[in-house]
Amino acid sequence: MKSTKGVSRRTFLKRSSATGIFLALGFPAAALEAVAEKMPPLQNMALEALKGIEINPFIIIDQSGKITIISHKPDMGQGTWQSIPTVVAEELDVDPATITIKSSVGEKKFGDQLAAGSSSIRGSWNTLRNSGAAAREMLMTAAARQWGVPVAECSTANARVLHTSTGKSLGYGELIEAASTLPVPAEPKLKAATAFKWVGKSVPKPDVPLKVNGSAVYGMDMKVPGMLYASVERCPTITGKLVSFDDSKARAVKGVKHVIKSERPFFSRTFEGVAVIADSYYGALEGRKRLMIEWNTSAEKEVDSAAFIASLHELAGQEGAVHDQAPEFKQVLEQAAKKHMASYETPFLAHSPLEPENALVHVRDGECEIWAPVQGPDGAVRAVSEYLGIPYDKVIIHVPFLGGGFGRKAFTDYILEAAYLSRELKAPIKVVWTREDDTLQGPFRSASVSRMEGALDKEGNVLALHHKIVAPSIQGQLWNGLKENTPDAWAMEGISKHDSPYQIPNYKTSFVLAETSIPIAWWRSVYASASMFGHESFIDELAQMNGKDPLELRIEMSQGDSRYRKVLEALKEKSGWAAKPEAGKGKGCAIARSFGSIVAHALFMGRNKEGKLRVEKVVSVIDCGTFVNPDTIRAQTEGNIVMGLTAAIKDPIIFKEGKVQQTNFHNYRMLRINEMPEVEVHIMQNNEHPGGVGEPGLPPVAPALANAVFSATGKRIRKLPINLDEV
């Protein structure tokens, strides 16, 4: 529990019990009780303070034996609220159902807290296990000393240390004081995977009971005394500048307190807006509607996504920056018996988390308190600290459950905007974005083009493959981190030789940089969300040239690597791939390794009553190494299929004269339940290091779909989205 000097102790608890987890907001103690009266009864129960001894950053045990485990990676639906504490609890040898879970509040001691890149488990695996195992060893040592017996004779069960031969036992709570004074073992003994009791099992997620009765708390639900709501009118062309505004009508709306120019810093750029601040969100919205604003949009008139995509196709003719190239590549390609080249196009997309961006920020004298849905608590604290010029340890963030993130909430512009308003108005300000703000403002998944080149010998063996990506650089645009004539390393995710499932003797990857003023960012599975469409569609095209079955060709080319081969063979068997589709129907497959895991989909298409092509079934096989919760892996893969299908067949983001043409879910449509195919997910069992789960299922969706459309219609589609009513 973090306590800032000079102010009342603030509490932010997430308390779990047999009936679930309760979450309270951070309030000054005096104000707490007044607000508590209005809070639902479940949350009242969380107001008791958290006491106990921190044996290491992840574990706090009090003398009654109550164990609190910190989850340092925000939960946006990917399951970290269950998976992170479970790994610690496994090594501590306590049932995760009996522990209390609490979020980190951005403290430096947890290191990187960003939930992104499907990294939460695979990146923290050793840290989490070591912290649980070290604490267990310290508790056993404390008990052994008290009993005067060798540690080796001690064991643990049900949060107690046991000495079997004498029948003695002590609870963790009774040992915590002595244990916490012992040196921390550098290399604690870890459990054998075969001894895992909770890791690897479909344990129910502790957040689910809260999410079925409305008691789960999201950023959108945060309230503090004296808080005002803000809605910000933003320039429709994104980077336009404010010339002037007339707020007389806005100020006449009941409840409107202030109207001021606002700023939203996003890396090197600052977006401008006019904020209407009121005592209710509805009041702020009504006031905003009555603003009269003059924008200078001249700089953005030329921004047009169709023209930009056309320029990507032109740039595809350039050599670009080579990422990796086999020595003989050029020669082999020139002398090959058969060659093929094709370009594939993917559009701009918005993240559209169902909970729009929002942030409640209170800047006080020399300190700042934040309540906001964000994927990286530490990054948000750092950004606000730097922006306001307040020391890191004077900024605290309370991160509730996130109503979706998908990369959008890895960025902190919407928090800085609230911080700006709070500083200017000297009050706690909650900025809530509308769906239109979210859709129009981005940042976006960039459009890109993949140009594929392949060479075959007379027998049809693939001798050479070249994947060239033409796209803007995220690290270049945001972090100014791309050196000249260098490929964006993130753009190689999935397509690099390292990630490729195939033993192709002459391999090449390259990157042509395209510049754009459109703000771009990570979007679930980042570049791989787009590049694998070209990559795996092209493999199908090579199979067609060979007259080979596309899945059989993939198996043949992946013989050298057993994990890929096993996934593909499992897919063949589980999906019943061998069966020939009926006339007019089709099947397609694709595989990708990204974010440390391998996923292959087999997608089956049929016809609806009107005879239009529809996705009927997707069978998926994932190899993510050692895993924590197989049910979460199935859920994430189901979700990746839905998001991948939305990206492949629904609306793109289109810019005309600098303005996004889509505004809300009626013209930026998402897959709905009536379009949902049957989904089957199979998980490979092995003892490899954990891979990612939140993203790897997405990249192979679009190519599996395009390959199935080809199978059903004979039409090769190289541009997303695909209009299934027209193919």
Partner 1 sequence: MAEYKLSINGENLTVEVEPATPLLWVIRDTLGMPGTKFGCGMAQCGACTVHLDGTAIRSCTFPVSAAVGKKITTIEGISEDNSHPVQRAWIELQVPQCGYCQSGQIMSAVALLSKNQKPSDEDIDLAMQGNLCRCGTYPRVRKAIHLAAKMMTHEIN
Residues that bind partner 1 (CB under 8 A): 19, 38-42, 75-79, 204-205, 207-218, 220-221, 223, 229, 254, 280-282, 286, 352-356, 401-406, 432, 434-435, 631, 635-636, 638-643, 664-666, 670-674, 676, 678-679
If the CB atoms of residues 79 and 586 are measured against partner 1, the closer one turns out to be 79
**Closest approach of partner 1 to the CB of residue 434, in Å:** 6
End-to-end CA distance of the chain: 58
If the CB atoms of residues 320 and 356 are measured against partner 1, the closer one turns out to be 356
**Closest approach of partner 1 to the CB of residue 32, in Å:** 15
If the CB atoms of residues 217 and 312 are measured against partner 1, the closer one turns out to be 217
Residue with tokens 């969300």: 529
If the CB atoms of residues 544 and 664 are measured against partner 1, the closer one turns out to be 664
Residues in the chain: 727
**Closest approach of partner 1 to the CB of residue 615, in Å:** 12
Residues in Cβ contact with 665 at an 8 Å cutoff, skipping those fewer than 6 apart: 352, 435
Selection from 553, 699, 672 nearest residue 615 by Cα: 672
If the CB atoms of residues 454 and 644 are measured against partner 1, the closer one turns out to be 644
**Closest approach of partner 1 to the CB of residue 432, in Å:** 8
If the CB atoms of residues 58 and 627 are measured against partner 1, the closer one turns out to be 627
State how far the alpha carbon of 614 is from the alpha carbons of 589, 652, 665, 722, in Å. Answer: 16, 19, 21, 11
Element (H, E) at 310: helix 305-315
**Closest approach of partner 1 to the CB of residue 631, in Å:** 6
| Tokens coding 196 | 């895992």
**Closest approach of partner 1 to the CB of residue 431, in Å:** 13
**Closest approach of partner 1 to the CB of residue 264, in Å:** 20
Residues 502/333, Cβ–Cβ less than 8 Å: no
State how far the alpha carbon of 413 is from the alpha carbons of 39, 40, 188, 447, in Å. Answer: 30, 31, 41, 22
Residues 661/440, Cβ–Cβ less than 8 Å: no
If the CB atoms of residues 60 and 217 are measured against partner 1, the closer one turns out to be 217
If the CB atoms of residues 496 and 640 are measured against partner 1, the closer one turns out to be 640
If the CB atoms of residues 400 and 586 are measured against partner 1, the closer one turns out to be 400
State how far the alpha carbon of 323 is from the alpha carbons of 468, 486, 491, 496, 654, in Å. Answer: 9, 8, 10, 8, 30
**Closest approach of partner 1 to the CB of residue 710, in Å:** 25
If the CB atoms of residues 219 and 519 are measured against partner 1, the closer one turns out to be 219
**Closest approach of partner 1 to the CB of residue 41, in Å:** 8
If the CB atoms of residues 343 and 664 are measured against partner 1, the closer one turns out to be 664
Residues in Cβ contact with 279 at an 8 Å cutoff, skipping those fewer than 6 apart: 228, 229, 255, 257
DSSP 8-state secondary structure symbol assigned to residue 628: S
**Closest approach of partner 1 to the CB of residue 255, in Å:** 9
Selection from 99, 8, 114 nearest residue 59 by Cα: 99
**DSSP per residue, 189-239:** PPPPGGG-SSTTS-PPPTTHHHHTTT---BGGG---TT-EEEEEEE-TTSS
**DSSP per residue, 27-85:** --HHHHHHHHHHS-HHHHGGGSPP--EEEETTEEE-TT--EEEEE-S--SSSSHHHHHH
| Cis peptide upstream of residue 206 (ω within 30 degrees of 0) | no
**Closest approach of partner 1 to the CB of residue 278, in Å:** 11
